[in-house]
Every structure is written in C-alpha cells, then in structure tokens.
Amino acid sequence: MRVLVAAGGTGGHVYPALAVLDELRTRGSLSGAGWVGNPAGVEAAVARQRPWIEFFALRSRGIDRHRPWTWPTALAQALGGLLRAVTIVRRFRPDVVFGTGGHAAFSPLVAARVLGVPTAIHEQNARMGLANRILSRFVDLVLLSFPTTRGVPRRARVRVTGNPVRREVTALSSQLGDELLVVGGSLGSRRLVDAIVRAAPDLARARGLRVRLVVGRAAPAAEVATALARAGVAAEVVRYVEPFSDALARARLVVARAGATTVAEVAAAGRPAVFVPWDGAAGRHQHDNARAIAEGGGCLIATEGPALCDLGRLVRELWADEERLRRMAAAARAVARPDAAHRTAEAIIALVEEKRT
C-alpha cells in the first residue's frame, strides 16, 4: 500500500503521522511512503532521517483570523499550493492520502479528493482544528483521539483510535526516572520557560531535583541555563530533544504544555505531569486535552496567570511525594491508548481495501 502523508508545522502533527507510517511498515503493509510538507519544517527533517520516505516540498501558511488584510495573499498561496499538490499526488500515485491537521494537510487532501484518491484525516486534539473541520466534510474517514472531540460534523464517518504514539514511547519501563522534564512543545514556550526561572528558588530546595528544560525557539538555552545555575538549580537546558522517549525515560515528573501529542506520549509513558495549557490555543483545546488526563488522576493542571506563580511550590511538593507520583503515573497509563497507531493503521488499511472492491 502506498501512503502519502500530509502533515507539518509542529511535532504535534508530525509525530502521530510518523507513528502510523512506522506501524504500517513494521507489519509489512507499506510498499511506498511519501510526505508532503514545508521544506523548512520539522517534517522535512523527519523525512530526511528516513530514506524510505519520499519527501515532496510544498510551502503553506495558515489563515490569521486576527489579520484579515493578509487573507488575499494566503488565498493566492493556497491556490498555488493546490495546483502543486495535484502534481504531487499524480506523480506519487498513492492508495490513500493521510492528513493529521494543520494548513500543511489542506491542499494535498483537496487534491486527492479531486483526483478520486481515498482520504483519511486524524484529529489529535479534543477540539477539532479549523483545517480538519473543513476537511472532515468531504474526506472518506475521520479518525479521532477522543470520543468526545468537539467540532466534528454530524455526517462525518468517524472512528475513535486514540492519538498515535511512537513505538519507542509505548515500550518505556514504568520505572520513574530522576529528572524533572520541562517542555513547551516542539516550538517551545517562553511563558513556561520564564515560569521555571521564577520558580528556581523553590526548585533549588527540592532534594535531588535535576531539571531537563527543552526551550525550543522560545529562549536562548545558554541564557536560561545561567539563570537556573545562579539560583542553585542543577539543570540541563537544550533547544530540542530527540528522541523524546529518552527524555521521558529519565523523567520522574513532567511539566509541559498540553498539546495533544505531548499529552498522549506522557500518558503512554506513564509519567506523572503538571500540564500548563496554552490559553492562546484555538478554542482553548489544550485545556480539553489536559482535562482528559486530569479526570483520571494522571496529571494536575496549572493555568496561566496567578496560579503559574505557585508552580515552583507545586513541583517541589510533588517531587517529595513519591507515593502520589506513583499513583499519578498509574492513572496516566490507565487512560492512555498505547495501541492507537495500530488502530489507526488498521482503519487506513480497511479504507483502502473497501475502496478497491
């Protein structure tokens, strides 16, 4: 089966798609893999590291709903992207085009629909994003992480699979590590970085606490490392960490934004967490993502604003309570869907077989 992936922009869109490709390849169901995305995005780097994926460059941009004067340019670029996407689909000849949301998925899936190629999309978040809300009205299959996902059209053909997680994450031991892992998503979070720096005096008082802070593009790693060292916090500050499973393996506690893929991977690894949902996420969907884990007892939620000022105290108290951390870890694993990549792969295979008959 030849699969063309349309995904990019952030790790939250890229890594679930990669998990599905890996699953299809492992089970011997993949005869060809293509990927359409931004040549400067994380998706291009992922494809370059895997010679078995053929990468097709297609620049795209989202619509800024707060800047209507930019819409004509975005529309013109989308039209050009659609023409390029039609060429890509014709050249690759996929059995199915699979998208995981975001503007990078839009043109290839529209092109596939025009050319009569089977289409499937996956929504990672508990609230459907704009691109997927539009695409879900005409694609053949809509796959969801949560049965309660908001924004799904009534007539859409839906299947709940969970959020596909990379195999190396689901294989991690349940034994907690010895680090505090702080991560603001693939692009980073300046607000979360600043909160950790402010919390440094509290963190320095926690016995045995060592921080691994992933800053992404949000802040200079060396500058943050210096600030933490001055406060007496043992810390390793890096711009990016790959594979993420290595960081999770060493984590005793995770503090992170609540992007859908981060939430799914932390839960699948069985790591207790404090999630800090980003208020600027469309429809506040990060709050919904975090609540899906918090309701089962697998995490705590620290909202932006005054509550974030108490982050250091909260982390220090959790760090000292090993029994509570173990309970949270068990609860996180209980609500995780470690077989989501398998379920998603099966749904895609079934769709292709159905369309062939």
Distance set, CA 318 to CA 40, 65, 119, 262, 302 (Å):
39, 40, 45, 20, 13
Residue 214: pLDDT band with limits 50, 70, 90: very high
In the chain, what percentage of residues exceed pLDDT 70? 94
Instruction: Tell me: do 149 and 241 sit in the same domain.
Output: no
How many CA atoms lie within 13 Å of 125's alpha carbon, on the beta-carbon side?
26
Under the phi-then-psi rule, with left for phi > 0, alpha for psi from -120 to 50, and beta for the rest, what region is 93?
A: left
For residues 93 and 175, state if they share a domain. Answer: no
269-312 residue pLDDT tens:
999 999 999 888 777 889 999 998 999 999 999 988 776 778 99
Whether residues 216 and 81 share a domain: the answer is no
282 against 90, higher pLDDT? 90
* Model pLDDT, residue 76: 54
Any idea what DSSP says for residue 260?
H
The amino acid at residue 312 is G
Q: How large is the average pLDDT for residues 133-152?
A: 93
Q: Identify whether the C-beta of residue 51 lies closer than 8 Å to the C-beta of residue 44.
A: no
Helix (H) and strand (E) counts for the chain? 15, 13
Who's near 341: CB < 8 A, 6+ residues apart? Answer: 16, 19, 20, 22, 23, 164, 165, 166, 167
Q: Same domain for 256 and 301?
A: yes
The enclosing domain of 178 has a CATH number of 3.40.50.2000
Please report, rounded to a whole number, the percentage of residues in the chain having pLDDT higher than 90: 74
- Dihedral angle at the C-alpha atoms of 123, 128, 131, 136, nearest 10 degrees? 70
pTM for the whole structure: 0.87
Residue 196 and residue 159 share a domain: no
Give the mean model confidence (pLDDT) for residues 141-157: 92
Mean pLDDT of 96-103: 92
Residues 278 and 207 in one domain: yes
What token pair was written down for 342? 């398998």
Q: What is the pLDDT of residue 304?
A: 86
Rounded CA separation 213/236 (Å) = 6
Q: How many CA atoms lie within 13 A of 155 on its CB side?
A: 5
Q: Say whether pLDDT at 23 is over 80.
A: yes
As a whole number of angstroms, the distance between CA 323 and CA 329 comes to: 10
328 and 261 share one domain: yes
Q: Report the pLDDT value the prediction gives residue 68, as an integer from 0 to 100.
A: 58
C-alpha span between 123 and 162 (Å, rounded): 9
Condensed to tens digits (0 to 9), the pLDDT of residues 183-204 reads 987 678 899 999 999 999 999 9
pLDDT for the residue numbered 87: 96
Structural domain count, the chain: 2
Q: 47 and 28, same structural domain?
A: yes
**309-353 per-position pLDDT tens digit:** 789 999 999 999 999 999 999 999 999 999 999 999 999 999 999
**157-194 burial by CB neighbour count: b if 16+ within 10 A, else e?**
ebbbbbbbbbebbbebeeebbebbbbbbbbebbeebbe
Give the chain's mean pLDDT: 91
Considering the domain architecture, whether residues 98 and 216 belong to the same structural domain is answered as no
pLDDT at 64 over 60: no
Q: Give the separation between CA 277 and CA 339, rounded to whole angstroms.
A: 25
Q: Considering only 144-153, 249-258, 340-349, which range has the smallest mean pLDDT?
A: 144-153
- Give the Å distances, CA to CA, from 8 to 37, 152, 194, 264: 6, 21, 27, 18
Query: 182 has which bridge partners?
Result: 213, 255
State the pLDDT at residue 307.
63
Confidence band of 70 (pLDDT split at 50, 70, 90):
low
* Structural domain boundaries enclosing 244: 168-335
Question: What is the SS3 assignment for 172?
Answer: coil
Q: Kindly state whether residues 175 and 133 are assigned to the same domain.
A: no
Report the pLDDT value the prediction gives residue 129, as an integer from 0 to 100. Answer: 87
Q: How many CB atoms lie within 10 A of CB 349?
A: 18
Is there a single domain that holds both residue 81 and residue 225? Answer: no
Q: Are 260 and 287 in contact (CB under 8 A)?
A: no
Tell me: do 81 and 156 sit in the same domain: yes
